[in-house]
Amino acid sequence: MISKIVTADSDALVGLYALISPHIERVERVIQDELFSPHPFVSELCERVGRYRGKMLRPALVLLSGEAVGGVNDDHHTLAAVVEIVHLATLVHDDVLDDADRRRRHPTINATHGNVTAVLMGDFLISHAYHLCGSLGDQYAARTIGATTNTVCEGELIEIHHRHDAAISEEAYFDIIRGKTASLTGTCCALGARYAGADADTVGTMRDFGLAAGTAFQIVDDVLDLTGTEVSTGKSLGLDLAHGSATLPIIHCLLNASPGARADLAAFVRAQPTSDSLDIRSLLDDTGSIDYAFDVARRYVDTATDRLRALPDTPARDSLRSMAEFILSRQF
């Protein structure tokens, strides 16, 4: 339910989702039915993972994309549940990779039950996503979801490969976030359009919208990891840099800081810090790296909203535009 979103941005999301609120509720019922287990321990884990459902961004993209080009049907409810379950699986696995102990203000599965249980739980979720996909009348969605999850995993693998790489380029960074985040949001929008009966050009336009919006979303997420608070975001922070992942603000700072500051920050990324008191936020402020990252995110949001010009002028299109704009102001 939308009422489960309890952050400071709740009112904004409720407004953005007003057009599809009944459909969101239907999607949540589909998820609950699909993840039902008669085994108490598994049922408890499913309930725990259910608390991860905060923004419901990806289901909303499926539904609004469908509404914008032809209308929502039962297939959209299934697809929206599938992409959310896939997303939940990536969160459970990410918490293992990042050794995170908080998610949506609650302890993570790995923090309370260990990495083995968390990995298996993520696999359990992926399995259910494909099972649900199989209930659709054709194989298009299953093949598309399969290709997308491949891309997500590739993005995660590339990110791990570049951990502690103080020389990582912006190009490599964008390869990572397009894979691990934007590919799924692009697929959400493309599937929403495809199952509403849109032609191939419109499906491609919606995929482009989702890719651009998803890229902006991840940039802002990476900024919040450096500047947010656990109270506002509801999850462990500072994990990217702690694990040696240089995100866009850090990459910009490494390129623009003074030689001494650059050397200190590079040593920190390589897990060979030269000081116990490196003030990373001051370095980012001195180089304008946070503002730079937000400017790049803004350009991706502009690209996303520009793609919507090809759609009919409808409330659903307006909601998609507002969702893209919301990315820049969110605090969680």
All residue ranges of the chain with pLDDT < 50 are 1-8, 230-237
The residue written with tokens 């304008």 in the block is: 288
DSSP conformation class of 69: H
Say if pTM beats, i.e. exceeds, 0.85: yes
Q: Which residues contact 199 (CB under 8 A, 6 or more apart)?
A: none
pLDDT tens, residue by residue, 277-323: 678 889 999 999 999 999 999 999 999 999 999 999 999 999 999 99
Dihedral over Cα of 297, 323, 33, 83: its sign: negative
Q: Which residues contact 271 (CB under 8 A, 6 or more apart)?
A: 164, 244
Q: CA-to-CA distance for 274 and 254, rounded, in angstroms?
A: 15
Q: Is 310 left (phi over 0), alpha (psi -120 to 50) or beta?
A: alpha
What are the structural domains, with CATH classification, of the chain?
2-326 (1.10.600.10)
Q: CA-to-CA distance for 102 and 120, rounded, in angstroms?
A: 19
Phi, psi of 45 (to 5 degrees): -65, -40
pLDDT tens, residue by residue, 105-142: 788 999 999 999 999 999 999 999 999 999 998 999 99
Q: CA-to-CA distance for 284 and 211, rounded, in angstroms?
A: 27
DSSP conformation class of 313: S
Q: What is the pLDDT of residue 12?
A: 65
Dihedral over Cα of 232, 237, 238, 240: its sign: negative
DSSP 192-260: HHHTTT--HHHHHHHHHHHHHHHHHHHHHHHHHHHH--HHHH-S--SHHHHTT---HHHHHHHHHS-HH
Dihedral over Cα of 38, 41, 43, 46: its sign: negative
What's the 3-state SS for 241-253? Answer: HHCCCCCHHHHHH
DSSP conformation class of 9: T
DSSP conformation class of 180: I
Q: How far is CA 320 from CA 31, 89, 237, 256, 323, in A?
A: 23, 25, 28, 35, 5
